[in-house]
Amino acid sequence: MKNQKPQILRSLKLAVKIFNECKANYRIVGSMLVTSIAKRIFRRVGDLDVLLDNKSYPIVLHKLEESGYVLKKKNWGFFKWIEAEKIDCLGFTFLLVGDFTDTYFTYRMFPHVELRIRIEYLNPTNYSFEEVTFVGIPRSSVMAGIRQAFLNPKRKLDKQILLEFTKNDTSQQTYDNLQVFIFGIKIPYLYDIFSFFYNIYGGFRVMFGKKYETW
């Protein structure tokens, strides 16, 4: 596996610099958190997955473009997001851009449809990789997300590595962390049901030699 350390450090330093300059309310999620806990690169880190507040979003994108990144619009079904790419750097994937409240983070998919994430699931938690410090989500939330995607080969490896450094933390509930609201009314476990069936579908894809993700 190619030595990614220079690439990761270059990208993390830029990310932290831009987020701090923009006073952004952000969380880096995904494999970068497990890599930081392990303090080693145990598998390829494809990009930096970012959850970001609406207010700082356009400024962050502008600063990334100024730094040589190219912005690309992506979509999968009704989900739309932007990825920022640059040669010899990790990409940025802005999966969820929304607003923080005292009790939840809200991402509006349609005018009357929103995805809410419990604020406890997103409690700002400091991580560091080679002395570069950034904000992620609690370890218990990382483990809860891994438990949901139990047929994803990457998440299986993440769990194996994570258990070397921390107990199987079940303090964070596995389900009902992400909630779908339609016209302000909660549809119980709709996201979890979708996630479960996609996990089964992704598992079958892997069995037939395809990648877990369809995007």
Return per-residue pLDDT of the chain as tens, 215 residues. Answer: 558 999 999 999 999 999 999 999 999 999 999 999 999 999 999 899 999 999 999 999 999 999 999 999 998 877 889 999 999 999 999 989 999 999 999 999 999 999 999 999 999 999 999 999 999 999 999 999 988 888 898 888 988 888 887 766 667 788 999 999 999 999 999 999 999 999 999 989 999 999 988 87
Reported as type and span, the H/E element at residue 68 is: none
154: closest CA among 72, 52, 49, 75? 49
This prediction has a pTM of: 0.91
With respect to residue 33, please indicate whether it lies within any of the assigned structural domains: yes
* Contact of 212 with 151, CB cutoff 8 Å: yes
| CATH number, domain with residue 86 | 3.30.460.40
With respect to residue 212, please indicate whether it lies within any of the assigned structural domains: no
From the number of C-beta atoms within 10 Å of its C-beta (0-12, 13-18, 19+), residue 152 rates as: buried
Q: How many domains does the chain have?
A: 1
Angle at 58 between CA 57 and CA 61, to 5 degrees: 85
With respect to residue 15, please indicate whether it lies within any of the assigned structural domains: yes
With respect to residue 213, please indicate whether it lies within any of the assigned structural domains: no
Tell me, rounded to whole angstroms, the distance of Cα 12 from its chain centroid. Answer: 14
**Cα(55)–Cα(70) distance, rounded to whole angstroms?**
21
With respect to residue 78, please indicate whether it lies within any of the assigned structural domains: yes
Domain residues for the domain of 101 are: 5-207
